[in-house]
Amino acid sequence: MNIRVTKPNNNKMLKKLPLAIVMCGVMVTLVFASCKHGTKESFLENFSNFMSDVNTSSQNYSTDDWKSADKKFADFKNKDFPRWKDELSTAEKVQVNLEIANYEALKLKKGINEVKGQFKDAVNMGKSIIKDVKGDTTKTK
């Protein structure tokens, strides 16, 4: 009885190694990409962190900051919240809705402050015009 022992062909294994590495990389990437809001807990935590950032920083937001925040908020409100709504407890739904109302109130406050600033500018311009007109009429007397 002849038993033949063969060496494993390392060349074949080495040729398949890059493909295996690429496949592992793709799988890891897919797992991390799906974890953005992969659970209701991660949605709640991410939304809470977002709102905390907005609450503490919104007074200093530029127009571009607000555009970025508005996009993120729209994603949370219109994509993520409906996705997890049925799995949230009543308390969690109330908390999310309060945060949504809070964000909309911050945006309203921002709009009111802009109008208030424009109104002050208009009043100051009006005062300046009246002052100039009074100055002109006193010169003609």
Q: Quote the pLDDT of residue 33.
A: 47
Whether 136 and 120 map to the same domain: the answer is: yes
For residue 122, what pLDDT band results from cuts at 50, 70 and 90? confident
The residue with tokens 């937001």 is 61
Structure tokens, 49: 């962190």
Residue 1 lies in a domain: no
Same domain, 84 and 47: yes
Residues 129 and 89 both lie in one domain:
yes
- Please state the domain count of the chain: 2
Q: What is the pTM of this model?
A: 0.59
Q: What is the pLDDT of residues 17-52, one digit of tens each?
A: 565 565 555 554 444 444 455 899 999 999 999 999
103 neighbors 66 (Cβ within 8 angstroms) = no
What's the pLDDT at 130?
77
Residue 69 lies in a domain: yes
Q: Clarify whether residues 86 and 31 are in a common domain.
A: no
Reply yes or no on whether the pLDDT at 53 is more than 70. Answer: yes
Whether residue 2 lies inside any domain: the answer is no
For residue 110, give its domain range. 38-140
